[in-house]
Chains A and B, each alone.
Chain A
Amino acid sequence: MPGDLREGRIVIIGASLAGLRAAETLREEGFTGPLTMVGDEPHPPYDRPPLSKQVLLGKASASATELPTRRDPEAQWRLGVRATGLDPVGKRVLLADGDSLPYDRLLIATGTRARPWPNPEEAALDGVFTLRTSDDADGLAERLAAGPRRVLVIGAGFTGSEIASACRERGIEVTVAERGPAPLVGALGGTLAKLAAGLQRAHGVDLRCGVTVTALHGNGRFTGADLSDGSHIDADVCVVAMGAVRNTEWLADSGLAAGARGVACDAGCRAFNMYGIVTDDIFVAGDAARFPHPLFEYQMLSLEHWGNAVAQAEVAAHNMVNPGPLRRPHLAVPVFWSSQFGLNIKSVGVPTFSDQVVIAQGSLDERRLVMVYGYRGRVTAAVTVNMAKWLEYYERLIETAAPFPPAPGAADRATAAAVPVPSDVPDPKVLSHGPTVALTGYLPDRRLTMVRPV
């Protein structure tokens, strides 16, 4: 072990938001050793949230989303090459081009990829898309610009809903098929899901809930799909928006606690091995990480959030170059946002970790409200719709485990609506979309995180 943590070789696997912010932080913290960034896409780090918004609306090109840097990370870039394996004893990462990279400390930031349509032949039809990469967005934006007769979106999670919103804004007919009872229900629960369903229909979306897509048709080119209710949708474009898969397969033989829910790590972002023993030279950040959170009974959280990628990458990088007593925990409360159908939806905490909800400010009718989520009498999450300026108040309630329902007194709290109702969060198994924040139990053990068949 080198005595000075600011020296030595650091390898970061994953050249997206978390990888880039970690690299910058390492340099800001005084790391002077060689730094290698490995990314499987050929592009330098770019920002993904605009892909389902600005890019699909035709307001920005996918190539425009390359991320600005806070400072030059002075890294060696290995782009367009995948990591295929990890040898934690020999301390080397194996790459798809046959190369292997030695490291003293490693950061895993491989994130997620779009869950593909399960039938590979149907998925290969021209006009069938997923939306995760800038290449995906480029291709889809081009098709939308060409004016398709109808777009079929499979899955009404945040990505699917944003795609549907962009289509409607461009005047394109769109059908959304969702296995669950309503859009966003897996992330936000029943009440806001009803609002989302009403919103979609008011904007002219042909929303079909409680159905699955049983087959995609086409002769080389996508022409339509069959639904489980026996109906058929004619469309030129299909977007499969069925959530994300964590890029952890390359770690299958590494001995790390890596599985479908991510790579388990401690609050300091250090990876666990499959026996639940923490490593001290392998760190994890971003969507690939699964980490314990004290506000949610120390259950392990798996997040797919922009803000978490940044915050966790900064903590991981700090801890990679600082000795034990100076290390920091990653305790940030999860926050995410989505903009769709003219509304700005922001969430803080874990809405699925709830048994009741109450409207604390505003109203559903105005589509301007704060919904507060509680679990066993304490506040665990809040979602604002067009009321983002209040979010930090509720973040503080979550951080202090304030009693639920929250104390009265808000000037714009409608007394009639101030009665808690069940949060109505369904089992994710019955949905086409997953929550982008999930509690995944207490144990880092790999057996608990085996891939569950879809």
Chain B
Amino acid sequence: MTADTLLERITDYANRPNPYPLYAELRAAGVARQTDGSYLLGTYHDIVALLHDPRISADPRSRSVPRGDRSEEGLHLPFLRLDDPEHHRLRTLAMRPFGPPHSPGRVDAMRGEIARITEELLEALQGRKQIDVVDDFAYPLPVTVICRLLGVPREDEPLFRAWSDVIVDSADVRPGEATERVRAGQQAHAEMGQYLVDLAERRRGQPTGDMLSAFINEPDPAGQRLTGEELAVTAVLLLIAGHETTVNLITNGVLTLLRHPDQLDRLRREPDLLPRAVEELLRYEPPVHMRERFPLADVDVAGTTIPKGTPMVLVLASANRDPKRFRDPDRFDPARPDNEHVGFGSGIHLCYGAPLARVEAQIALRALIPRLGTARLVQDPPPYRRNAMLRGPRHLPIEF
């Protein structure tokens, strides 16, 4: 098989507004070996199979040839980038204050607060002729929510936003030299981790009901708990994931609805469709476009043997548009039946924060939809963020 430049083209910023034709090309190619030696995969059935294959590692240390510019040696990795059994242990500990079986009502109990934050943000926009959906709404909402959930002061946002930008940029899938990006990312990660551990330590013995407090104060019955380093890595992951992804989901939602006025109108008339509309958004314009994996043994995918340790990029957003799985996949259909999308991934690494993202997106869109009646996009396509993996508009100006 000849090496391909699809990954270069997909990550090329010029293609950020519409990578979907490239994804179609990828699906037609089956498995596409890239010039940097990695493999790109984009069909639904291959990707779902790989996400459930125990021989496929999420751990970057499983690369057979470590990248010179990206040394993960000696670093503590978040559960997102670990395999079982370590992944299971850490994710279970991280889940204790957030979800079932230990805290099943946590996310549900936040609905009222999320609705209040939403209303406050929208009230402040009353009377404005033009707003930026990202800066005025879709970014501040999840940031405020994750701050309250974790117990991070909202006014520290400029501080952790700066760290987060550097970390997210360093983790982007992008061919070529990345030494500087990676070093900066590691530095930012260490600082952000220390900041969060300090916040948690202040709560030791003085519980405040937030997750940092729970991590530091709740003893695990089995006598296991997050070490300081694990707490740092986990808290960094939750804070970044909590505000870098939901912003895309809400912004993509507004963008998609304004591009489909008939569906916007339908949702205004049938608000009960909203939960399914959010799922369709997760399929149609997912916030996370790809994940990186490494086989622990030679694996066969669609007739190609991918050697042990070779990086594989699974393009989730392409799987979501696979006509072999979804009828009329390029159509946005909020009432789509049988919508088994992989917008949040699948298998053991299925997005930890998915339920919170869903609740936020539903509440945000429910509140926004009645106000979008006269709105129009100022710029289509809007300017996008640089990141190809966490893809979404950087700004979304709309006019009323």
Q: Which residues of A contact B299 (CB under 8 A)?
A: 409
Q: Which residues of B contact A393 (CB under 8 A)?
A: 49, 52-54
Q: Is the CB of B297 within 8 A of A389?
A: no
Q: Is the CB of B84 within 8 A of A412?
A: yes
Check: A396 CB closer than 8 A to any chain B CB: yes
Q: Is the CB of A411 within 8 A of B84?
A: yes
Q: Is the CB of A362 within 8 A of B85?
A: yes
Q: What number of residue pairs across chains A and B have CB atoms under 8 A from each other?
A: 49
Partner of A390, one of B54, B296, B297: B54
Check: B55 CB closer than 8 A to any chain A CB: yes
In chain A, positions 130-166 with a C-beta closer than 8 Å to chain B are: none
Q: Are A407 and B52 CB-contacts (below 8 A) given A362-B85, A389-B348, A412-B85?
A: no
Q: Is the CB of B52 within 8 A of A392?
A: yes
0/1 per residue, A393-436, Cβ < 8 Å to B? 10010000000000111111100000000000000000000000
In chain A, positions 10-55 with a C-beta closer than 8 Å to chain B are: none
Check: B83 CB closer than 8 A to any chain A CB: yes
Q: Is the CB of B52 within 8 A of A413?
A: no
Q: Are A410 and B52 CB-contacts (below 8 A) given A361-B84, A389-B347, A389-B348?
A: no
Partner of A407, one of B55, B83, B88: B55
Check: B295 CB closer than 8 A to any chain A CB: yes
Query: How far apart are A344's CB and chain B's nearest CB, in angstroms?
Result: 12
Q: Is the CB of A361 within 8 A of B54?
A: yes
In chain A, positions 172-217 with a C-beta closer than 8 Å to chain B are: none
Check: A57 CB closer than 8 A to any chain B CB: no
A180 to B321, CA, bound (A): 52
Q: Which residues of A contact B49 (CB under 8 A)?
A: 392-393, 396
Q: How many A residues have CB within 8 A of the partner chain?
A: 18
Check: A315 CB closer than 8 A to any chain B CB: no
Q: Is the CB of A409 within 8 A of B55?
A: yes
0/1 per residue, B384-399, Cβ < 8 Å to A? 0000000000000000
- By beta carbon, the residue of chain B nearest A342 is B101
Q: Which residues of A contact B83 (CB under 8 A)?
A: 411-412
Query: How far apart are B352's CB and chain A's nearest CB, in angstroms?
Result: 14
- By beta carbon, the residue of chain A nearest B59 is A411
- By beta carbon, the residue of chain B nearest A361 is B54
Query: How far apart are B4's CB and chain A's nearest CB, in angstroms?
Result: 26
Q: Which residues of A contact B85 (CB under 8 A)?
A: 362, 366, 412
Query: How far apart are A389's CB and chain B's nearest CB, in angstroms?
Result: 5
A9 to B98, CA, bound (A): 55
Check: A360 CB closer than 8 A to any chain B CB: yes
A413 to B84, CA, bound (A): 9
Check: B118 CB closer than 8 A to any chain A CB: no
A444 to B354, CA, bound (A): 50
Q: Is the CB of B296 within 8 A of A409?
A: yes
Q: Which residues of A contact B297 (CB under 8 A)?
A: 407-409
Query: How far apart are B176's CB and chain A's nearest CB, in angstroms?
Result: 29
Check: B252 CB closer than 8 A to any chain A CB: no
Partner of A410, one of B48, B59, B296: B296
In chain A, positions 36-84 with a C-beta closer than 8 Å to chain B are: none
A390 to B85, CA, bound (A): 13
Partner of B57, one of A361, A366, A411: A411
Q: Which residues of B contact A368 (CB under 8 A)?
A: 88
Q: How many B residues have CB within 8 A of the partner chain?
A: 19
Query: How far apart are A43's CB and chain B's nearest CB, in angstroms?
Result: 29
Q: Which residues of B contact A407 (CB under 8 A)?
A: 55, 297
In chain A, positions 354-370 with a C-beta closer than 8 Å to chain B are: 360-362, 366, 368, 370
Query: How far apart are B47's CB and chain A's nearest CB, in angstroms?
Result: 13
- By beta carbon, the residue of chain A nearest B62 is A411
Q: Which residues of A contact B55 (CB under 8 A)?
A: 407, 409-411
A368 to B297, CA, bound (A): 23
Q: Is the CB of A411 within 8 A of B52?
A: no
0/1 per residue, B77-103, Cβ < 8 Å to A? 000000111001000000000000000
Query: How far apart are A28's CB and chain B's nearest CB, in angstroms?
Result: 12
Partner of A412, one of B53, B54, B347: B54
- By beta carbon, the residue of chain A nearest B58 is A411
Q: Which residues of B contact A389 (CB under 8 A)?
A: 52, 347-348
0/1 per residue, B34-64, Cβ < 8 Å to A? 0000000000000011001111010100000
0/1 per residue, B234-275, Cβ < 8 Å to A? 000000000000000000000000000000000000000000
In chain A, positions 338-388 with a C-beta closer than 8 Å to chain B are: 360-362, 366, 368, 370
Q: Are A411 and B296 CB-contacts (below 8 A) given A360-B54, A393-B49, A393-B53?
A: yes
A392 to B48, CA, bound (A): 10
A432 to B219, CA, bound (A): 44
Query: How far apart are A116's CB and chain B's nearest CB, in angstroms?
Result: 38
A437 to B85, CA, bound (A): 31
- By beta carbon, the residue of chain B nearest A411 is B83
In chain B, positions 325-383 with a C-beta closer than 8 Å to chain A are: 347-348
Query: How far apart are A340's CB and chain B's nearest CB, in angstroms?
Result: 16
Q: Which residues of B contact A413 (CB under 8 A)?
A: 54
Query: How far apart are A246's CB and chain B's nearest CB, in angstroms?
Result: 33
A390 to B49, CA, bound (A): 10
Query: How far apart are A309's CB and chain B's nearest CB, in angstroms?
Result: 20
Most buried by A among B59, B84, B296: B84
Query: How far apart are A71's CB and chain B's nearest CB, in angstroms?
Result: 13
- By beta carbon, the residue of chain A nearest B297 is A409
Q: Which residues of B contact A408 (CB under 8 A)?
A: 297
A410 to B53, CA, bound (A): 8
A241 to B303, CA, bound (A): 48
Q: Which residues of A contact B59 (CB under 8 A)?
A: 411
Q: Which residues of B contact A409 (CB under 8 A)?
A: 54-55, 295-297, 299, 308
A389 to B87, CA, bound (A): 14
A412 to B53, CA, bound (A): 12
Besides A410-B55, A411-B54, 6 more A-B contacts (Cβ < 8 Å) are A366-B85, A389-B347, A411-B55, A411-B84, A412-B54, A412-B88
Residues of B within 8 A of A (CB): 48-49, 52-55, 57, 59, 83-85, 88, 295-297, 299, 308, 347-348
Residues of A within 8 A of B (CB): 360-362, 366, 368, 370, 389-390, 392-393, 396, 407-413
**CB<8 Å pairs between A and B, sample of 11:** A361-B54, A362-B84, A389-B52, A393-B49, A407-B297, A409-B55, A410-B296, A411-B59, A411-B83, A412-B85, A413-B54
For the complex of A and B, list the 8 residue pairs with the smallest distance between their C-beta atoms, beginning with the closest.
A409-B297, A409-B55, A411-B83, A410-B54, A412-B84, A409-B296, A393-B52, A412-B85
